[in-house]
Structure 1
């Protein structure tokens, strides 16, 4: 599953970068990431950074989350957050428009792990089964997550049991997602 997830993430990222090249004649750009150091940065203007994905080196995993929560995290989450450094990417899955979250730098990787731990602590307190978010939606109450029990990708409403299965696994979700530039 690790290889499938990494290949699907790299393929989606390539489709995303190709869409940028086709529509805008450049690598992806981000105003939100402007001024934040990253191995992805190619150049900056006065308002935005131009980036391209880079391998996540040195190799890492999200074992800090496992240790903090005393649970085993599904392998696809390790792979999703440690395959590459990249900017967040907008995508469409069916009728949902979402922002696929990525790690921008080593510092951002630490922040993402802290946010995932916070998410899991809240779920544990509310007696909800564990999920790990991979994307945001326009609604601040809804996210796209990986169910840590089944490995399915779901749309969930935070703090509730309201969950809808979108794909049987993370690789299938990424394969079916289309870049939005």
Structure 2
């Protein structure tokens, strides 16, 4: 596993949870995840869940993506998707608001891998180099991804060649993220 990426992710998650604690006096809450089982859930109330990150003690890889697409996924992406279970977290990167995607449970990790496979199939069909998404933006057409060839974090418009490099690595990107509450 890519320890640098895993450490950068857990450090950002700690900053996010600390900011939430400071602002709201509680662990993070999510209405979107209400009713969805997870080891992260502390309690449920009024159609939202209070959650805290938990280490993923299961498989530490996204090998299903590798097998389905016959490609080797960057080690940083294995670490990103399997270091922990957590709710999605909102953040800023150089003034751009985004939602950092996280896996919520073992079942969610399987769903995420299926979505990554679908994303890669579309790219292959369009003859685009492979990327794996890590965050969403307000625009439904744009996502933050990791280029599987270079390891760079990019902003891309889905289904096009429009790609802007944001950071040289996933660890660098995560280190520069600021929580947005």
Question: TM (normalized to structure 2)?
Answer: 0.99
1:30 aligns with 2:38: no
Cα distance in 1 between the residues matched to 2:95 and 2:139: 14
Partner of 1:87: 87
Residue 48 of structure 1, CA deviation: 0.4
1:48 aligns with 2:48: yes
Equivalences for residues 15-26 of structure 1 within 5 A? 15-26=15-26
Equivalences for residues 83-162 of structure 1 within 5 A? 83-162=83-162
Residue 46 of structure 1, CA deviation: 1.9
Q: Which runs of 5+ in 1 are unaligned?
A: none
Cα distance in 1 between the residues matched to 2:60 and 2:4: 18
Cα distance in 1 between the residues matched to 2:87 and 2:103: 7
Query: Secondary structure, in 3 states, of the residue corresponding to 1:18?
Result: helix
Residue 95 of structure 1, CA deviation: 1.9
Residue 57 of structure 1, CA deviation: 1.4
Query: Secondary structure, in 3 states, of the residue corresponding to 2:98?
Result: strand
Partner of 2:11: 11
Residue 60 of structure 1, CA deviation: 2.5
Question: TM (normalized to structure 1)?
Answer: 0.99
Residue 15 of structure 1, CA deviation: 0.1
Partner of 2:179: 179
Do the aligned residues in 1 keep the contact of 2:60 with 2:79 (CA within 8 Å)? no
Q: Which runs of 5+ in 2 are unaligned?
A: none
The superposition leaves residues 59-87 of structure 1 with CA deviations (integer Å, 9 ceiling, x where unpaired) of: 32101100100000000000000000000
Cα distance in 2 between the residues matched to 1:14 and 1:72: 30
Residue 13 of structure 1, CA deviation: 0.1
Cα distance in 1 between the residues matched to 2:47 and 2:88: 17
